[in-house]
Amino acid sequence: MKKLKLGTSNLMVSNIALGCMGLGKLSVSEAEKVIHNALELGVDFYDHADIYQDGKSEEVFANAIQMNSSIRESIVIQTKTGIRKGYFDFSKQHILNSVDNSLKRLKTDYIDVLLLHRPDALVEPEEVAEAFDILSESGKVRHFGVSNHNQMQIELLKKNVKQDLIVNQMQLSVMHTGMIDVGLNVNNRNNNAVDMDGSILDYTRLNDITIQAWSPFRYGYFEGFFIDNEEFPELNTTLQKIGDKYGINKSAVAVAWILRHPANMQTIVGTMTPARLTAIAKASDVTLTREEWYEIYRAAGNELP
């Protein structure tokens, strides 16, 4: 499994991470198989959030991996905070309480990376900064980042936050390419020229922030999956053709397409099926050609200017 440097930190992590949202739906014995398989594949990065199954995913993870000091030092744990039932909350007290609860569920005394999960319209950067300082100084959180933020929202946080924001987790797949489309359609007047994300792709590259791509197999916003979907015959034919060349399946090609981007992104894969993760993990060592990357992009229905 290839590794990448996470933002400005000293963390070297697998370029494919396991998204743990679905762990809370599994029994501990089922989760053990998922996690042990991931570890054998070289996946050392595990992405959580306090809202995943109301915290149960973190709890099941800790029990399944049989958390102890030796295991803890061999993995990187990321969790997220800020989404509450019906609203978002980046208040100092909620951030601190959320981290304490995650630490208890995860059976650890520190989080490697804490992300602010979706922007809070009522964010007060001063409060976020106070919370981050407390968490950093106490050793409860080692690194910080955001999820689904644009560049100005990050700049607003940086006005007060002293710690580097090393990650921005964003939805990205070959069928959800807004942050890429806008860069290809500069000086055009078509829909793809509309910047929905505040030039976030260029911004993160300029500021050494790692983009973590979530939902790498979905189209739209949770509308469905494009792999083996009869609505997307050209894309699936192309994925199959290129997959045959490299000896990988269509899902692995879809991940290899993300990993090929020079922004050096990390892909979050949420499958709870060991065999599927084993197949997808092969993407880590595949480097698509420039021609193949653009062929897949066009097959997904994206037009070049």
The residues assigned a catalytic role are: 52
Residue 50, burial from CB neighbour count under 10 angstroms (0-12, 13-18, 19+):
buried
Collapsed DSSP state (helix, strand, coil) of residue 224? strand
**Radius of gyration of the chain measured on its C-alpha atoms:** 19
Residue 235, burial from CB neighbour count under 10 angstroms (0-12, 13-18, 19+):
buried
Say how far apart CA 123 and CA 120 lie, in whole Å.
5
151: tokens are 């560049």
The secondary structure of 182-195, three-state, reads HHHCCCCCCHHHCC
177: tokens are 């390419």
Helix (H) or strand (E) holding 36: helix 28-41
Q: Tokens 């030092």 identify what position?
A: 73
